[in-house]
Structure 1
Amino acid sequence: MVKLRVKVVTWEDVVRWTKELAFVILESGYKPDVIVAIARGGLTPARLLADYMDVIDILSLKVEHWVETGSHQEEAVIKYAAQGIDLSNAKVLIVDDICDTGKSLMVAKDYVEKYWKARQVKLATMQYIEPVAQIRPDYFVDLVRDWTWYMYPWNYVEDMVNLVKKILKEHAPLSLQEIIIKFQEWYNITPPIPLSETLRVMEYRGLVKKVDGKYELS
């Protein structure tokens, strides 16, 4: 039984989506002076968009919302807030990888308008998960009608670790082969990095221990 709907995203997907997104924005007539990337997920898409759209200035805001793969804290908050930035003469594009609840986008937009005094702000994401989002981005290219966890290339290790942790919380101790079977049952995807490598990383981080050939959480 699948417990979490997961889509593995490739680098090729990211390049294709950001290229499509760039043309959607350009064809709308909006030409931002500054791109603000929501860290961490928006950093790579923002850099690619800047290249396609000939935007020189990129800033970032660290927004904390998702605390673990598939789960989030109730409110999104700005971390390491930078003040004293003046964008009063700038048209701004705020970029994130995905609009899920939309709270990260809303918090970032409010901050950029209130503290950085941006003249105009628009929002862009690759994915827009329509059923759960509380805000609709101005620009997106992939409309998602069923909630799905998108596993982006810059998040493979973190996501794989968290997905394995979910399994071990319920079923430890398990051998590598048993974890492989459970992983397929729970998520129905081909792991983007081998589960053996994931468990090795988890051992280095002190998250799991191996006893008599089986893994359990430390």
Structure 2
Amino acid sequence: MSLPDKAFPVSWDQFHRDARALAWRISGQGKDWHAIVAITRGGLVPAAIICRELGIRMIETVCIASYHDYSEQGELRVIKSIGEKLLENGGEGVLVIDDLTDTGKTAKIVRDMMPKAHFATVYAKPQGRPLIDTFVTEVSQDTWIYFPWDMGFTYQEPIAKGHRG
């Protein structure tokens, strides 16, 4: 794995603060959101925080797999789509939550499914930024964000990596 030019390690405390800040920004828009769609896997943690803060009970996931090695994003494939009910009316009144928009490829896939949904991420990079409606922190394109679930005292390979049959 080639190392990025810049590293941005994020602790659990910092991520929680940033996700709550995202909830504040979303709540300030005065809309009545009826559901959240979390883009898995990265969107699960911020979606849990945001649904609590905004009192949203309807939570759905869209599962998009990328074949990559943590240094480059590969081909994307939808492995679980969004329920038909939330797709009605282009996703109007639905929040789509992810941890990060990088190139914007994942957001584009979901935006095509739900063009009227509101897209929010905790972090945004310049290439993906045009596809996002609300975010908290922008980082440069050449920055690698180390999320707390990816780290121990040093970077931790996922347990399942290398254990597939």
Q: Fold conserved (TM > 0.5)?
A: yes
What's the CA shift string for 1:43-71, capped at 9, x where partnerless?
01011000011100100011123622121
| Alignment match, 1:148 | 143
Give the partner amino acid of 1:94.
Answer: V
Aligned pairs for 1:125-140 (under 5 A) are 125-130=121-126, 132-133=127-128, 135-140=130-135
Moved over 3 A (4+): none
Letter in 2 for 1:143: E
- Rounded to whole Å, the distance in 1 between the matches of 2:82 and 2:37 is 12
CA contact (8 A) 2:38 2:44 kept: yes
Cα distance, 1:6 vs structure 2: 2.2
Q: Counterpart amino acid of 1:193?
A: F
Alpha-carbon distance change, 136 to 205 in structure 1, aligned in 2, over 3 angstroms: closer
Q: Does 2:81 match 1:121? A: no
Give the CA RMSD over aligned residues.
2.6
Q: Deviations over 1:21-50 (max 9, x none)?
A: 011111122331100000000001011000
1:154 is displaced (CA, Å) by 2.0
Distance 2:110 2:133 in 1: 14
Q: Is the 8 A contact 1:102 1:133 kept in 2?
A: yes
- Quick one: structure 1 residues 136 and 80, their matched pair in 2 at CA, closer, same or farther if it must change by over 3 Å? closer
Deviation of 1:105 (Å): 1.0
Return the structure number with greater helix share: 1
Q: Which has the larger radius of gyration?
A: 1
Residues 1:98 and 1:34: Cα distance change in structure 2 (over 3 Å)? same
- 1:182 is matched with none
Supply the distance in 2 between the matched residues of 1:43 and 1:34 (Cα, whole angstroms): 14
- TM-score, L = length of structure 2: 0.82
Corresponding residue number in structure 1 for 2:85? 86
Instruction: Label 1:29 to 1:96 Cα distance change in 2 as closer, same or farther (>3 A).
Output: same
1:38 corresponding residue in structure 2: 39
Can you give the 5+ residue segments of structure 2 that lack an aligned partner in the other structure? none
Identity of aligned residues (%): 25
Residue ranges of structure 1 left out of the alignment (5+ in a row): 114-119, 157-191, 207-218
The answer to whether the 8 Å contact 1:77/1:107 transfers is no
Quick one: which amino acid aligns to residue 120 of structure 2? A
CA gap of 1:70–1:34, structure 2 versus 1, over 3 A, is same
Shift of 1:147: 2.2
Distance 1:96 1:24, change over 3 A: same
Which residue identity does 2:16 align to in structure 1? V
Output the TM-score relative to the length of structure 1: 0.63
Residue 193 (structure 1) aligned with residue 134 (structure 2): no
Residues 9-20 of structure 1: pairs in structure 2 closer than 5 A: 9-20=10-21
CA separation of 1:38/1:66 partners in 2, compared to 1, >3 Å: closer, same or farther?
farther
Equivalence for 1:72: 73
TM-fit CA distance, 1:76: 2.6
- Higher RCO (CA < 8 A, seq sep 6+): 2
* CA displacement at 1:20 relative to structure 2: 0.5
